[in-house]
Amino acid sequence: MLSITVNVDDDLKERMEKHPEINWSEVTRQAIQEKVETLEVMDELTSESELTESDVQEIADKINESGRKRVDEESA
């Protein structure tokens, strides 16, 4: 199995050290595996898409704006 190095800041390291019972290597491995699996699903879903990056950004902007409006309305 390949080893990698992960950099964390001092504060996070101190917080991690408060939980020596946790196998942080395994937590990291699982997080990487979940992210890769999510990306693979996204790649599969979009493999035949004809949308350009610009199209995707435009859609994302519209979704974000709609979400902001909804939050503003709910908090008013």
- In terms of average pLDDT, the best of 7-21, 38-52, 54-68 is 7-21
| Residue-level pLDDT at 1 | 84
DSSP conformation class of 50: -
Between residues 24 and 46, the one the model is more confident about: 24
The pTM assigned to this predicted structure is: 0.63
Q: Answer yes or no: is pLDDT of 56 > 90.
A: no
8: left (phi over 0), alpha (psi -120 to 50) or beta: beta
Closest alpha carbon to 28 in 6, 9, 13, 8 = 6
CA 59 to chain centroid, in Å, comes to: 19
